[in-house]
Amino acid sequence: MRRENEYVAYLQRLYPELQINSVYINEIGQNNDKKAFEAGIAQYV
């Protein structure tokens, strides 16, 4: 849960206008998921 909270805080700093409450992190695919998630957000910013 701690790593999830750190990632949520990181995303909130990057995208302060978005309401980000929780992010599910899959340990195995974390890096790929993170890049895909950021790419997905970038489409809406």
1-45 residue pLDDT tens = 677 778 878 888 888 777 766 565 555 555 556 666 666 666 555
Number of domain units in the chain: 1
Q: Which of 20, 32, 18, 17 is nearest to 6 (CA)?
A: 20
Q: What is the pLDDT of residue 36?
A: 66
Q: What is the pLDDT of residue 40?
A: 66
Distances (CA, A) of 1 to 15, 33, 40, 44: 21, 17, 23, 27
Q: What is the pLDDT of residue 6?
A: 83
Question: Does the pTM exceed 0.85?
Answer: no
Question: Dihedral sign, CA of 29, 34, 39, 43?
Answer: positive
Give the residue numbers spanning the domain of 20. Answer: 2-42
Q: What is the pLDDT of residue 21?
A: 63
- Calpha distance 45→43 (Å, rounded): 6
- Calpha distance 8→20 (Å, rounded): 7
